[in-house]
Chain A
């Protein structure tokens, strides 16, 4: 079975500073990787996804993530955060050969301070 670990439950950062949200996964088969953002009392919005090809993936709102197969990681980065980036971020995986069910990490609360 696959699993996803988000190492930081909360990440406080000042506005305009860079940020990295860490995600590691475990799976015996190939996976697709995703990052989602959730604002309070809302559903999830896709930030970016890795399916294949280039390991550096660019998403919406200036976010990017790099797939590292040897370290089984898919860390999310943004060079300069805004107050509006304050939200909950979820890393997720789905198995390539087993349908579309997502397994989520525990989430990381990004708190951007002025």
Chain B
């Protein structure tokens, strides 16, 4: 089946630095990818919709200057957490669709110290 690869799986960074997370669709083209954030013991909250070749669509309350999304090709979307702070520590997950099914990346555990 279709595979979505997310990298890195874990990252620890210092407060004030930026972190880039990659999401790749390995065997299909994805014009749209989704970025979710998951706090411990909670559900997934949609952060933004990444559109190939155009600007991302952010959900209410998500700072677009804080969470930069780039979808430069049909197989790659990136999420950059800029000037990260401890409150940005979380589990980030991307997904992409083929037909009516969503495939998810393995997730990225971000810890900001």
Contacts and interface: CB of A to CB of B under 8 A. Distances in A.
A41 interface: yes
Contacts, number: 53
B39 to A, nearest CB: 11
Contacts of B7: none
A88 B97 CA distance: 22
Given A43-B93, A43-B106, A102-B95, 19 more contacts: A36-B104, A41-B107, A42-B107, A43-B4, A44-B44, A44-B93, A45-B104, A46-B102, A46-B103, A49-B100, A94-B100, A101-B46, A101-B49, A102-B46, A103-B46, A105-B43, A106-B43, A107-B42, A107-B43
B28 interface: no
A114 interface: no
Contacts of A53: none
Interface of B: 4, 6, 9, 32, 34, 41-44, 46, 49, 91, 93, 95, 97, 100-107, 109
A54 interface: no
A43 B49 CA distance: 18
Which interface class (under 10, 10 to 19, 20 to 34, 35 or more) fits A?
A: 20 to 34
B111 to A, nearest CB: 12
Nearest to A49: B101
A1 to B, nearest CB: 12
B91 A44 contact: no
Contacts of A49: 100-101
Contacts of B46: 101-103
Contacts of B34: 101-102
25 contacts: A32-B100, A36-B104, A41-B9, A41-B91, A41-B107, A41-B109, A43-B6, A43-B104, A43-B106, A44-B104, A45-B104, A46-B101, A49-B100, A49-B101, A51-B100, A94-B102, A100-B32, A100-B100, A101-B34, A102-B34, A102-B95, A102-B102, A104-B43, A107-B41, A107-B43
